C-alpha cells in the first residue's frame, strides 16, 4: 500500500468536513417556545392527561381518537384518572387551547412538524 499517507489524510479531511456542522452549531440551538395557555387552561387542574404525556404523545392520542370516532363510532375517551371526555379536537382540545397560533403553531414550527389536523378540522377564530 504505497498511498497510505494520502488515504489517511483523505479520511481525516473527510471526517473533519463531516463533523464541521456539529462543531459550528454547538450550543446554538434555539430555546424551545413557551406556550401561552388560555385562562381556562390555566384554571384547569390538568389536561386530559398529564403534561409530559401530552407534550410528547398528543399526536398519537389524536390518531387514536380519530380511529375510535370515525371507524368505531366511539366518541368517549376515558383518561388515566378515570375522567371521561368527548374525543374531539375542535371541541375538547381547542376549548382550552383556543389560540392555534400561540399554542399549536409555535411548537410545530419549532420542530418543523406539519400536522394534517387542519386538513379536515376548522379551528376557532384566533383570540388576541
d(CA 76, CA 48): 12
Provide mean pLDDT across the span 85-91. 88
* pLDDT computed for residue 124 by the predictor: 63
Alpha helix (H) residue ranges in 44-114: 51-66, 72, 94-96, 100, 106-110
pTM score above 0.75: no
**Confidence tier at 90 by pLDDT (50, 70, 90):** confident
More confident residue, 16 or 121: 16
The per-residue pLDDT of the chain, averaged, comes to 85
Number of domains in the chain: 1
pLDDT of residue 125: 64
Range of the domain at 100: 1-128
Amino acid at each position: 500500500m504505497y498511498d497510505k499517507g494520502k488515504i489517511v489524510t483523505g479520511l481525516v479531511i473527510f471526517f473533519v468536513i463531516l463533523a464541521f456542522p456539529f462543531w459550528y452549531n454547538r450550543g446554538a440551538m434555539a430555546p424551545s417556545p413557551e406556550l401561552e395557555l388560555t385562562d381556562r387552561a390555566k384554571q384547569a387542574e390538568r389536561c386530559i392527561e398529564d403534561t409530559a404525556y401530552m407534550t410528547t404523545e398528543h399526536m398519537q392520542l389524536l390518531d387514536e381518537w380519530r380511529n375510535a370516532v370515525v371507524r368505531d363510532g366511539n366518541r368517549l375517551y376515558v383518561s388515566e384518572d378515570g375522567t371521561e371526555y368527548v374525543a374531539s379536537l375542535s371541541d375538547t382540545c381547542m376549548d382550552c387551547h383556543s389560540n392555534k397560533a400561540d399554542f399549536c403553531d409555535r411548537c410545530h414550527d419549532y420542530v418543523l412538524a406539519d400536522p394534517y389536523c387542519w386538513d379536515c378540522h376548522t379551528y376557532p377564530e384566533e383570540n388576541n
